[in-house]
Structure 1
């Protein structure tokens, strides 16, 4: 309809309404004055008003029924204590509640698929108790190492081999016992299907993002694969290729003359690759590179194999130290009052920087003879305020709850709502942590995304370890007592005992892939001739005086540290308290620091998910050989 016609209709409608109003008023006036009705002149008739056509303007209604969206369904194994999470590829959203519609549930990246890697344990051989104990230690080393590199390590035995249809045909072939065991390994492998088959002394000895390890984690093998110069150390293949190779070898008339399965299987069936990041400690390698270990095994197999296990653990540790040649950074944002907050992270860093115990301390892995051995604790530990995204640095960080951070910054637990609103800046912690990555001009949502990427991306989780304050044992000691132990030196060196409980350290071992040292030894380089304990400040034993500043720039007094530790304990209790006033203060602190809160909840959930993943794996494997069965001590 044209604008002019529309205006005309509006004018006509207004005139009609005015006339009707006048008519109504006149009628009421006449009815109330019946005595004068005769004197009132007749009202002329009103001409008929034309009907107003309907206006079809196709304007949508602005009123809608609004309904609540359903929350995503609760996934299996997605809660642990107070932490709950939802696995989704949209995990890099700034705030998880926009997806989960739940303030408490955090969106985490889906767990990466872990390809299977198998080893074989010959359970037909009788073992005494000492031999079984050493076997358990070596199996634990093998499982930890492969788990940390993203694989799912599984121990196979004769039970899996016997489940294969070809197993009854092994005995009639009359092959040597060693070759029969190798065929049993392959039949057990084939029974399980596609994956990797490794010897118990074959370990990944490289960075998480090494090209070969990335290739193996994909789990796609176009051809049966073996690796140059490591014999039966490692194989990769699909089930159809494994079955074809085994059947072909069993049909060979020369089978009884072969010494190994690599001799029995046709070379044309193998694809040969270079084991750049694979170390194999077979007898030949031990005789050539580690003769002291080989001789120890000949003299006393139990004691010698235990030395070999320690050698493998030390090499895994050395490779990790070489990967992060620039050292370890223990993040300390807002350093004025956070010394007690980062103390557990610092002690963990000191354990990682320590040299592992081994019979050959200056040796290198067989796949990397030019490594830098750990001689003395030379790995650098620093306390930056901000996270740095560098491949040669390893980061350990402790994320505080907003209420904890407010308590420490104000040096009192008696804070009020008014004080929080008027005297504290929002999201100070995450602004400090992401300053080097994003600068000062970015808002809180983008900073949350950057922190989540640093914590949980494939690159980030291989180069950092993040905790919340609540992840550390509640009664962990801040001050570490020094005992004196005899050494080969003229003077004695102090040893710091770890305050961490053993079951807590076990999870950390699986994260790194090796047993971290349980003590730190102060070496006393560049110190006075007699390194007496009273010359070192508490918590800084063994740190040269000229290097103290690189460890703790704030340098608080002993009394200040005690105050921080007390406030930290009070804040930790307040977060879990049911007291209404404390819950109110906690809620105010959370609402005032939404980005800091999201970071704290994300790290809490991510760490809980990692621990639960291994617990579920251990539980599933608990009934089989070669595991401790979710810490239940089962064996065979």
Structure 2
């Protein structure tokens, strides 16, 4: 008796044979055939059918034999990258045909936001220095939220054709100054125009900020209650509004340019994400500060700047109310490896100092001051995709991870292949979101998305060990004897100032340079109150791995030396040294791709900011800018 479904099997087999016959029969010999008939004797090859692959299928399975062209500003400090939409491909070499060239996501176009600074105004050196500090704070805050902040001067205003008509109108000096600022904006074109006291006071993905980043404005826009804090518009809308205002017969009776422009030309929106620290707002919400500004202008303005910085920092802390987590997936012998991340996390968790510690931003009256609930800092063995949690991670090179795991740099090829697991770091990092059954390629894609997507990059910060100077990895100082009346002391993290300045631009505010110690615990062994909190529901075996014993002074010194030697190996050009490094990379393809990707992504961020600072240095010299700038090229 025939088995069940025998008829069904016969039908499927018949269809399969029919398809083979259709695609394999051909009257002519094709060079695209899978079987090379020339390798067989003549009597046999006449009987072998030639399999012809359709051109459409043959094209779809072919990859380009040529490397993609080099792009401008695509190398820095030993890293090379190629910006393309294929950046989520597991391995960049399949796109770039180069083992050392990494595919990164295309840079998002930053819409311009302008402010005006009257460099010709008479003021003492101290006042000008404070003005520059305000401009720096303004640029840094808008840059961190995805905009391109540009400082305009009289040079741009004088480049506009209508500039010559201002004096002939006989308008008040304050109104004429408003027109000069708008003429400078009109000369540059479409974008945002803001006061240097107007800051984005909201998370990166806030709805209003996301709308403004698109750079599309159907109407000339102002914001309710902000006064002259922020405007948005297209070039044609700005030009029409200026011409209409200058032709008004009541021009000399107006006090501000918004009074002179017909209200029908404006569309009004709610400034839910914007904070404007103009004199009116300061007087109503911060009267103590207003009094100080009236009595001692320079001292009061410095206090105002600190308050603005504190509010930016506080808003960031409120966004990540769950806390900051430092990834330490392979906890054994990696305390020194993650030490710079822990130091940075503690600086971010510090309460910013200002004249009004418990005051909230003008647009966020129900904020949570840092003094009431300080941000927590913990370690975690795996990445968690939580919107209220900020993640800091250090991605080690596979060779670095092997030396730390084995506590020796005497590593052979045989040892790597026989005694080490493949891709242990990325497997541990992605275990919570992908489980244990997934392979390296899918784990690389998840890590790239977490580190470099628009959503992920605003909620995490990824480094490699090579991003930190070697001095970062140093043994902790010897412990001091605790006393009951031990005073509060400040501890300065071992970060160079220029390194911290770059990180300031990532967050949009000046990170505190010191942490406050109250004597809760002493290095090198943290007390129980500073140990990482174990997430609820963690299995017993995971708990043990999550809470290893802290290192002794001797163990910490060994880790420092291993990290130093590993860095030398990775940067070495010697053939013998390169061989063991290449073996470590080949055995850990996913870990290597993650390390190269993060290294190149951070390098491109540095290049982007340095290029921007070079271009924006023009306002220091008073040179006019226009079509020769990036938005007109």
Task: Bin the TM-score by the shorter chain.
Answer: 0.7 to 0.9
Match of 2:416 in 1: 420
1:537 aligns with 2:506: no
Match of 1:530 in 2: none
RMSD of the alignment, in Å?
2.5
CA distance in 2: counterparts of 1:146 and 1:498, whole angstroms? 27
Question: Retained in 1: the 8 A contact 2:487–2:518?
Answer: no
1:83 aligns with 2:79: yes
Question: Retained in 2: the 8 A contact 1:355–1:377?
Answer: no
1:90 aligned counterpart, secondary structure:
coil
CA-to-partner distance for each residue in 1:319-370, whole Å, 9 max, x for gaps?
Answer: 0000000000100011011100000000000000001121111111000011
Ranges of 4+ aligned residues in structure 1 off by more than 4 Å: 54-62, 479-484
1:164 aligns with 2:160: yes
1:320 to 301, 307, 316: 316
CA-to-partner distance for each residue in 1:5-39, whole Å, 9 max, x for gaps?
Answer: xxxxxxxxxxxxxxxxxxxxxxxxxxxxxxxxxxx
Match of 1:434 in 2: 430
Structure 1 residue 81 displacement after superposition: 1.7
CA distance in 2: counterparts of 1:424 and 1:211, whole angstroms? 47
Match of 1:294 in 2: 290
1:282 aligns with 2:268: no
CA-to-partner distance for each residue in 1:480-501, whole Å, 9 max, x for gaps?
Answer: 66999xxxx9862121112000
Match of 2:585 in 1: 590
CA-to-partner distance for each residue in 1:582-606, whole Å, 9 max, x for gaps?
Answer: 2111111011000000000000000
1:620 aligns with 2:615: yes
Structure 1 residue 108 displacement after superposition: 0.3
Match of 1:269 in 2: 265
CA distance in 1: counterparts of 2:49 and 2:476, whole angstroms? 80
CA-to-partner distance for each residue in 1:248-274, whole Å, 9 max, x for gaps?
Answer: 111111111111111111111000000
1:151 aligns with 2:147: yes
Match of 1:6 in 2: none
Structure 1 residue 169 displacement after superposition: 1.0
CA distance in 2: counterparts of 1:363 and 1:461, whole angstroms? 29
CA distance in 1: counterparts of 2:553 and 2:314, whole angstroms? 35
Match of 2:376 in 1: 380
Match of 1:553 in 2: 547
Structure 1 residue 539 displacement after superposition: 7.0
Q: How many residues align?
A: 558
Give the 5 Å matches for 1:225-236: 225-236=221-232
Question: Retained in 1: the 8 A contact 2:113–2:192?
Answer: yes
Structure 1 residue 547 displacement after superposition: 3.9
Structure 1 residue 228 displacement after superposition: 0.4
1:494 aligns with 2:489: yes
Structure 1 residue 558 displacement after superposition: 2.1
Q: Residues 385 and 92 from structure 1, CA distance in 2 versus in 1: closer, same or farther, beyond 3 angstroms? A: same
Q: Which structure 2 segments of 5+ residues have no match?
A: 1-20, 22-45, 535-545, 623-633
2:509 aligned counterpart, secondary structure:
coil
Larger Rg, first or second structure (1 or 2):
1
1:495 aligned counterpart, secondary structure:
strand
Structure 1 residue 581 displacement after superposition: 2.3
Structure 1 residue 523 displacement after superposition: 3.9
Q: Which structure 1 segments of 5+ residues have no match?
A: 4-53, 528-534, 628-636
1:360 to 352, 356, 360: 356
Q: Residues 68 and 374 from structure 1, CA distance in 2 versus in 1: closer, same or farther, beyond 3 angstroms? A: closer
CA distance in 2: counterparts of 1:247 and 1:594, whole angstroms? 62
Match of 2:462 in 1: 466
Structure 1 residue 545 displacement after superposition: 3.9
Match of 1:15 in 2: none
Structure 1 residue 57 displacement after superposition: 6.2
1:522 to 497, 517, 529: 517
1:252 aligns with 2:248: yes
